[in-house]
Amino acid sequence: MRSGDGDGHDLTEETTYERVRAAQSMSRRDLMRFSATAGLGAAGFGTAALGTAFAAAPAAAAATGIVKPLPAELFIPQGTNAETRWEAMSGQGYVTPVDRFFVRNHVSTPLIDARTWRLKLWGTGLHGSPAEDRPVEFSYEDLLGLRAESLTAFIECTGNGRSFYTSQQGQQVSGTPWKLGGVGVAHWRGVRLATVLERAGLTRRAVDILPRGLDADYVDKGENLGRVRRPLPIAKALKDVLLAYEMNGAPLPPDHGFPVRLVVPSWVGIASVKWLGDIQVADEPLFSPWNTRYYRLFGPGYPPEGSAPLTRMNVKSAFELPWDATLPAGRRHVLHGRSWSGNGRVRRTDVSVDGGRTWHRTRLNDVHANPRGWVRWEFPWRPHAPGRYELLARATDETGASQPATAPHNTLGYLFGAVVRHPVTIA
Ligand SMILES: Nc1nc2c(c(=O)[nH]1)N[C@H]1C(S)=C(S)[C@@H](COP(=O)(O)O)O[C@H]1N2
Ligand SMILES: [Mo]
């Protein structure tokens, strides 16, 4: 069977496919358009951030479709995606700075002009059932004029930790082999989605919304699935979802959804649709490949159509150390890390330095833990002897959920929540 694209690339392999297509789609024309976008000033924001991104765009974009620089000391490349190196969080404050925030792109980062951009709402869940081609529209300036709200929350890819299904449990899974760097916390600022839905004429009949990105169609093994879009129940949409236009105090960077993205706290990252273009509001349940063939659990033990669509993320922990770190012998180290959960606050994190035989409670450094963010913790360690060690961290959240020794297998490798065995050499 023929699976190549004519240039000798095997496009049946997901990561190859994404890399090849990304390189093909970031054309000269895109870059010219971007240089025009970089001159944006109409919204009253400075242009410094966009200008900086542009300076580095040609080299970075050619390989990955990502605009911002991806220095090797901050990121591990993953095809069209880039994961944060956990050692790059060492010494940082509560949030993940933009220069090291992970990027998960199905296709290339699109370059959008905020002056002509409109958010379009339509569908049977709005008064008068506006049609897709006659939507209720909001400009960028309209949104900036509405009451702003802030939210500090993590966004985490559902496949974060996926590689450990294979490396720790010997199991086959498909998808991007993330370690633990497919997560970041940011201060987001924008308008409540509830506010915009009400202004657009939300009815009590509305059941689901379907936010859709403006990035190019996603093609999976030759099948065009259209633009990234994932249904969201109206209850969650009205609860705590933000239409964000700022990240860590500056306009959203292109890679993170400029001009406007959703931030759906505590839920699977795919819910936080970037480069938002339109939102269908429906009086009936909605479906897309992102809540049917992806972002459910599949495999033995699950029905053929998979589990229910995934919603909340699970409990995880990470050390702010290089993978396979080397630390000097004969002195005291303070191990730092972070833990987070989609169920709410992390109450405690325990660490083991002897492969899981004994556990010690860490000191939590964010006492009033944010239920939508993470907690930082530390643990002093004086290793007795040089050699190879495995460091383990296990968090427990306010619902009592903790991290098991093994994660239940699913073929797409989602929700790896088991304790990760972090290799360290004392030399
Ligand atoms: N339009 C659009 N939105 C998207 C995606 C995408 O590819 N296109 N990726 C999703 C996934 S799978 C994740 S994990 C998050 C990642 O957000 P980040 O790149 O800002 O870290 O964005 C989500 N929103
Ligand atoms: Mo994701």
Model pLDDT for residues 80-126, shown as the tens digit of each residue: 999 999 999 999 999 999 999 999 999 999 999 999 999 999 999 99
Model pLDDT for residues 114-138, shown as the tens digit of each residue: 999 999 999 999 999 999 999 999 9
Output the average pLDDT for the chain.
89
Examine the pLDDT at 180 and tell me if it is beyond 80.
yes
List all residues 6 or more positions away from 222 whose beta carbon is below 8 Å from its beta carbon. 11
| Residue 155 beta carbon below 6 angstroms from any ligand 1 atom | yes
- Per-residue pLDDT at 210: 99
| Residue 263 beta carbon below 6 angstroms from any ligand 1 atom | no
**What CATH fold (topology level) applies to the domain 316-426?**
Immunoglobulin-like (2.60.40)
- Per-residue pLDDT at 221: 94
- Per-residue pLDDT at 36: 35
Examine the pLDDT at 47 and tell me if it is beyond 50.
no
pTM, whole model, 2 decimals? 0.88
- Test site for ligand 1: of 80, 104, 183, 214, most ligand atoms within 8 A of the Cβ: 104
Q: Closest Cα partner for 183 from 153, 154, 152, 151? A: 154
Place 62 in a pLDDT band, splitting at 50, 70 and 90. Answer: low
Model pLDDT for residues 266-282, shown as the tens digit of each residue: 999 999 999 999 999 99
> Any idea which ligand is nearest the CA of 278?
1
- Per-residue pLDDT at 113: 98
Question: Ligand 1, atom 24: nearest CA belongs to which residue?
Answer: 273
> Any idea which ligand is nearest the CA of 106?
1
* Type and span of the H or E element at 380: strand 374-381
Question: Ligand 1, atom 18: nearest CA belongs to which residue?
Answer: 103
- Per-residue pLDDT at 264: 98
Model pLDDT for residues 20-41, shown as the tens digit of each residue: 334 434 433 343 333 333 333 3
CA angle 399, 403, 408 (to 5 degrees): 110
* Exposure on the CB side of residue 79, measured as CA atoms within 13 A: 19
CA distance 286 to 263: 20
- Per-residue pLDDT at 70: 98
Examine the pLDDT at 60 and tell me if it is beyond 50.
no
Q: Token digits for 338?
A: 């972070």
May I ask the CATH class of domain 25-50+82-292? Answer: alpha beta
Question: Ligand 1, atom 20: nearest CA belongs to which residue?
Answer: 256
Q: Token digits for 372?
A: 């939508």
Examine the pLDDT at 198 and tell me if it is beyond 80.
yes
Contact (CB, 8 A) for 231 and 208: yes
Examine the pLDDT at 54 and tell me if it is beyond 70.
no
- Per-residue pLDDT at 126: 99
Model pLDDT for residues 329-361, shown as the tens digit of each residue: 999 999 999 999 999 999 999 999 999 999 999
| Residue 215 beta carbon below 6 angstroms from any ligand 1 atom | yes
- Per-residue pLDDT at 382: 96
Place 255 in a pLDDT band, splitting at 50, 70 and 90. Answer: very high
CA dihedral 195, 201, 206, 212 (to 10 degrees): -70
CA of 182 to the centre of ligand 2 (A): 8
Beta bridge partners of 325: 424
Model pLDDT for residues 370-389, shown as the tens digit of each residue: 999 999 999 999 998 999 99
Q: Closest Cα partner for 328 from 369, 386, 283, 270? A: 386
Question: Ligand 1, atom 12: nearest CA belongs to which residue?
Answer: 270
| Residue 181 beta carbon below 6 angstroms from any ligand 1 atom | no
Question: Ligand 1, atom 11: nearest CA belongs to which residue?
Answer: 270
The average pLDDT across 136-147 equals 98
Query: Of all atoms in ligand 1, which is nearest to the CA of residue 157?
Result: 14
Place 369 in a pLDDT band, splitting at 50, 70 and 90. Answer: confident
CA of 103 to the centre of ligand 1 (A): 7
Question: Ligand 1, atom 21: nearest CA belongs to which residue?
Answer: 103
What are the extents of the domains in the chain? 25-50+82-292, 316-426
Which sign, positive or negative, has the C-alpha torsion 227, 230, 235, 237? negative
